[in-house]
Chains A and B, each alone.
Chain A
Amino acid sequence: MRAPRLDVDALLDDPTTGIIVCCGSGGVGKTTTSAALALRAAERGRKVVVLTIDPARRLAQSMGIERLDNTPRPVSGVQGPGSLDAMMLDMKRTFDEVVESQASPEKAKQILENPFYIALSSSFAGTQEYMAMEKLGQVHRQARAEGTHDLIVVDTPPSRSALDFLDAPERLSSFLDGRFIRLLLAPARGPARLMTAGLSVVTGALTKVLGAQVLRDMQTFVAAFDTLFGGFRQRADTTFALLQADGTAFLVVAAPEPDALREADYFVDRLTDDGMPLAGLVVNRATPKPFADLSAEEAIAVADRLRERDPASLTAGMLRLHADRVRMVEREARLRERFAVAHPRVPTAVVPAMATDVHDLTGLREIGRLLAADLVDP
C-alpha cells in the first residue's frame, strides 16, 4: 500500500488556502514543520503569519520572536516576493485580553484578580489550546479586515494527546456555562428553593475536599464572569466553524514511531468525523534510505568476516551502520504502510531526518524543500 503524495507547493500556492493547522503528538517536530511551511509559502509569494506555541530558543531567536509579546513581528531574511511575520502565544495574556474586551473595566479588574481565575487562566489543562484558537480567530479577523496576511500557519500546543487540541475549547466553554457552574451560582442569586438536597450534598462534599475558601473564590468568580459566558461560548463556536470552513487545511504531523503514528491515526479519524478539512500527513525525521542495495543480514555477515581478520576494521563499522540503517528504514516503512492501509486516501509527505538540528532560516528552507519534494516510499 502506497500513500498518495502530499503536494505541499500546490497547497501553499492555492490562494484559497487561508489557514494551515499543524497538529500531532508532542516531540514530532510540529513547530519546525509550521515554521518551514510558513517560510516556504512566504518565499513563494504569500503574505504569511505563523503562530507558534513553544519554539526552541535558537529557532525563536533566528525568527526574532524570543519575546512573548503576543504580537506578530516581521521575520527578516525572507527571500522572495512574499512576507513572513511570526508570533509566540502568551496564553495568559490572550485570556486576559478577552476578558478585558468583554467586560467593563472594573468588572474585568475584579475577574483578573480572582485567585480562581488566575489558576484557571494559567494552568487549566485546556487553556493553552483554547487560547491558541482564540488567537487564531483574532489574527484571522485582523488579517481579513486589514489585508495584512493571506495565510495563517498555526502550530498547536504539545498536548498529552493530539486530540486535546480539538476537545479543550469545547471542554472549557462547556465548563464556563455548564450545569455545575449554574448550581454554584444559585446560592449567590438567592432563591433558597434551588438548594435541593442533591446540591447541598454536592457543595458539602466539595467543601470537605477543597475547603470553604475555594468554593467562595469560585462563587465570586462565577458571579463576576456570568455575563461573559455567552460571549466566550460564541467566540469558541465561531473559531470552531472557521476550522471547518473551506480555506482551512489540517496537516497531521508524526514521526515514524508507533506512538506518534497511532496518535496521527486517531487524529485523522477525529478530523474526518468532525468534518474538518484534512490536507494530509507529514512524517518527519524519516531515516534516509541508503542508495546501495545491500541487505542488513548480508552487511552484518560481511562485517563479521572482516572483523575476524581485523577487529578495528573501519569498513566493518560502516557495514554495521548500514545494517542498522536498513533495519530502521524497513521498520519505518512497515509502520507507514500500516497507516496507509487504514487511511488509503490521506496524502503523505515524508521528510528525511537531517544530520544537523534546525535553528535558522537556512535550515527551515531546507526542511521546506524536503517537504515539497516527492519522497514518499523513496
Chain B
Amino acid sequence: MSDWPRVQLHVVTGKGGTGKSTVAAALALALAGSGRSVLLCEVEGRQGIARMFDVDPLPYAERRLARGLPDAGGRAGQVHALHIDPESALLEYLAMYYKLGRAGKALDRFGVIDFATTIAPGVRDVLLTGKVFEAAQRNARNKDANTYDAIVLDAPPTGRIAQFLGVNSELAGLARVGPIKAQADKVMALLRSPRTAVHLVTVLEEMPVQETADGIAELRAAGLPVGGVVVNLVRPRDLGPGALEEVRTGDVDRTAIAEELTRATAGVTRELVDSLVAEARDHAVRRALEDAQHAVVAGLGVPTYDLPRLAGGIDRGALLELAAIMREQGLA
C-alpha cells in the first residue's frame, strides 16, 4: 500500500552524486504497475533517462520508454518519458496561447528565446514546470493526448529546488503582472496542493543529510508539500549490530575465523584472515557514521525509504530491483 495515494506529481530532488535520477526512474517503474500509466520527465538537458534505459536521446515529445514493474498478478503499466527543454517549451507556450507561429520564429532569430529562457530569471523555471503542469492537467477530454495516472519529475538538485518550484515568488519582483505571472500562479496552485509531493534523495553522509534538512525547511517555508526522504546507496547490511561492534573495537578472534574458513575452503592464509578483518573494520567505521546520519534523517519527521547500493551499477534490471523495494516500503 502506497504512503502517497493522493499524489499525482512526484518531484524528486537530491544533492549531486546522490543518485536522484536513478531514484526518479525507479519510482516511475514502481508507480507503473496494474495497468497504470506514468510519465517520467527530465528538465536538466542531461539525457540521463535515455542513458539509463539505453535508448536514443529523447526529443521534446512523450515517448514510450518501458513497461513498469508488474504487480502481484503480473500486470504492469507503461512508463512514458519526456525531455523538457525551455526553448521548445517557450515556443509551444507561445503557439498555444498566442498563436505565435511565425512571430515565434522571429523571436528565435533575435536571440529572444535564448534570452528569455537562460537569462530572465525564473522564466525558464516557469516554462519547465509549466509543461509538467500541462501534462498533469490533461484528462479524457484531450483528444489524441496521453493522460497519466502519475508523473515523476527528475528535478534540479536540492540546493535549487525551492527556487525552482517557488518560481512564483522569484517572479514576483519582476513580472508583477502579465501572462507569465498568471501561468506561474496556476502552476503554483498545483505544486502547493496535496496532489504534489517533493521527495528528497540523500546518501548517509554529513553534507547531503544537512542539505536535505535545509531543503525540507526551505520547501516548508515556501509552502511546498514535502514527501519522503529516500536514503540511497545504503551499504550492505551483512553484519549485525553486535558483530559491527566486535569488529570496530578489534575484538575479533582471528584463530576462530581461520578455523571456520578452513572447514569451508582450502588454502586459507593468515593474509586472507587479516584482509577480511581489516575490510570489515573499515566497513564498521563507515557504518557507524551511516547509522549516526540515519538517526539524523529519522529525526527529520518525514517518512524515509532505504535503497541499497548495488555493486554492479545501474542498468534496467537494477532499476526494477530498486522499484520493487520502493513498492515494498510504500514509496510507490
- Taking beta carbons and an 8 Å cutoff, which residues of A are in contact with B? 25-28, 54, 56-58, 115-116, 118-120, 123-126, 158, 160-161, 171, 175, 178-180, 183, 198-199, 201-202, 204-214, 217, 255, 257-260, 288, 290-292, 294, 298, 302, 305-306, 309, 312-315, 317-322, 324-325, 327-328, 331, 355-357, 359
Chain B residues with Cβ below 8 Å from A357 are: 205-207, 289
Is there contact, CB below 8 Å, between A324 and B275?
A: no
Min C-beta distance of B282 to chain A, whole Å: 5
Which B271-297 residues have a C-beta within 8 angstroms of A? 271-272, 274-280, 282-283, 285-286, 289
Is there contact, CB below 8 Å, between B173 and A118?
A: yes
Instruction: Tell me whether B5 is interfacial, beta carbon within 8 Å.
Output: no
Instruction: Tell me whether B190 is interfacial, beta carbon within 8 Å.
Output: no
Q: List 16 A-B contacts (CB under 8 A).
A: A201-B106, A205-B103, A208-B98, A210-B178, A211-B180, A212-B178, A213-B176, A260-B17, A291-B278, A314-B257, A315-B261, A318-B276, A321-B279, A324-B236, A327-B311, A328-B311
Is there contact, CB below 8 Å, between B46 and A180?
A: no
How many angstroms from the CA of A209 to the CA of B48 in the assembled complex? 31
Is there contact, CB below 8 Å, between A56 and B311?
A: no
Given contacts A205-B94, A294-B275, A321-B239, 5 further A-B contacts (CB under 8 A): A180-B111, A213-B174, A302-B265, A320-B238, A321-B238
Is there contact, CB below 8 Å, between B313 and A258?
A: yes
Min C-beta distance of A235 to chain B, whole Å: 19
Instruction: Tell me whether B157 is interfacial, beta carbon within 8 Å.
Output: yes
Which A residue's beta carbon lies closest to that of B17?
A27
Task: Give the dominant DSSP class at A's interface.
Answer: helix
Which A residue's beta carbon lies closest to that of B265?
A302
Closest 6 CB pairs of A and B: A211-B178, A27-B17, A26-B16, A292-B275, A27-B16, A327-B311
Is there contact, CB below 8 Å, between A206 and B112?
A: yes
Chain A residues with Cβ below 8 Å from B115 are: 175, 178, 180
Chain A residues with Cβ below 8 Å from B311 are: 324, 327-328, 331
Is there contact, CB below 8 Å, between B276 and A322?
A: yes
Instruction: Tell me whether B122 is interfacial, beta carbon within 8 Å.
Output: yes
Is there contact, CB below 8 Å, between B175 and A210?
A: yes
Is there contact, CB below 8 Å, between A210 and B120?
A: yes
Is there contact, CB below 8 Å, between B119 and A175?
A: yes
Chain A residues with Cβ below 8 Å from B304 are: none
Is there contact, CB below 8 Å, between B159 and A292?
A: no
Task: Give the dominant DSSP class at B's interface.
Answer: helix
Is there contact, CB below 8 Å, between A211 and B175?
A: yes
Which B residue's beta carbon lies closest to that of A218?
B120
Known: A115-B174, A180-B112. A302 touches B264 (CB 8 A): yes
Is there contact, CB below 8 Å, between A120 and B121?
A: yes
Is there contact, CB below 8 Å, between B15 and A26?
A: yes
Chain A residues with Cβ below 8 Å from B16 are: 25-28, 158
Instruction: Tell me whether B123 is interfacial, beta carbon within 8 Å.
Output: yes
Which B residue's beta carbon lies closest to that of A259?
B48
- Taking beta carbons and an 8 Å cutoff, which residues of B are in contact with A? 15-18, 44-46, 48, 51, 93-94, 98, 100, 103-104, 106-107, 109-112, 115-116, 118-124, 156-157, 159, 163, 170, 173-181, 205-208, 210, 236, 238-240, 243, 246-247, 252, 257, 260-261, 263-265, 269, 271-272, 274-280, 282-283, 285-286, 289, 311-314
Min C-beta distance of A22 to chain B, whole Å: 15
Chain A residues with Cβ below 8 Å from B314 are: 258
Min C-beta distance of A308 to chain B, whole Å: 9
How many angstroms from the CA of A118 to the CA of B116 in the assembled complex? 16
Contact of B176 among A57, A207, A211 (CB under 8 A): A211
Is there contact, CB below 8 Å, between B157 and A26?
A: yes
Chain A residues with Cβ below 8 Å from B112 are: 180, 202, 205-206
Chain B residues with Cβ below 8 Å from A257 are: 17
Min C-beta distance of A91 to chain B, whole Å: 13
Is there contact, CB below 8 Å, between B111 and A214?
A: no
Known: A25-B16, A179-B111, A305-B264. A56 touches B206 (CB 8 A): yes
Chain A residues with Cβ below 8 Å from B45 are: 160-161
Chain A residues with Cβ below 8 Å from B17 are: 25-28, 255, 257, 260
Is there contact, CB below 8 Å, between A56 and B210?
A: yes
Is there contact, CB below 8 Å, between B94 and A209?
A: yes
Chain A residues with Cβ below 8 Å from B116 are: 206, 209-210
Contact of A115 among B173, B282, B283 (CB under 8 A): B173
Min C-beta distance of B152 to chain A, whole Å: 19
Which B residue's beta carbon lies closest to that of A217?
B174
Min C-beta distance of B277 to chain A, whole Å: 7
Which B residue's beta carbon lies closest to that of A332?
B313
Is there contact, CB below 8 Å, between B282 and A288?
A: yes
Which B residue's beta carbon lies closest to that of A26?
B16
Chain A residues with Cβ below 8 Å from B120 are: 210, 214
How many angstroms from the CA of A209 to the CA of B236 in the assembled complex? 52
Known: A118-B173, A217-B174, A290-B275. A124 touches B98 (CB 8 A): no
Is there contact, CB below 8 Å, between A318 and B236?
A: no
Which A residue's beta carbon lies closest to that of B183?
A209
Chain B residues with Cβ below 8 Å from A298 are: 265
Known: A119-B121, A161-B46, A202-B106. A319 touches B276 (CB 8 A): yes
How many angstroms from the CA of A205 to the CA of B99 in the assembled complex? 11
How many angstroms from the CA of A180 to the CA of B107 in the assembled complex? 10
Which B residue's beta carbon lies closest to that of A328?
B311
Chain A residues with Cβ below 8 Å from B51 are: 258
Contact of B107 among A118, A202, A306, A319 (CB under 8 A): A202
Which residue among B178, B239, B269 has the maximum number of chain A CB atoms within 10 Å of its CB?
Answer: B178
Is there contact, CB below 8 Å, between A124 and B121?
A: yes
How many angstroms from the CA of A201 to the CA of B112 in the assembled complex? 11
Which residue among B104, B120, B264 has the maximum number of chain A CB atoms within 10 Å of its CB?
Answer: B264
Contact of A291 among B180, B271, B289 (CB under 8 A): B271
Contact of A209 among B178, B207, B252 (CB under 8 A): B178
How many angstroms from the CA of A306 to the CA of B208 in the assembled complex? 38
How many angstroms from the CA of A91 to the CA of B132 in the assembled complex? 31
Contact of A27 among B18, B236, B289 (CB under 8 A): B18
Contact of A318 among B159, B206, B280 (CB under 8 A): B280
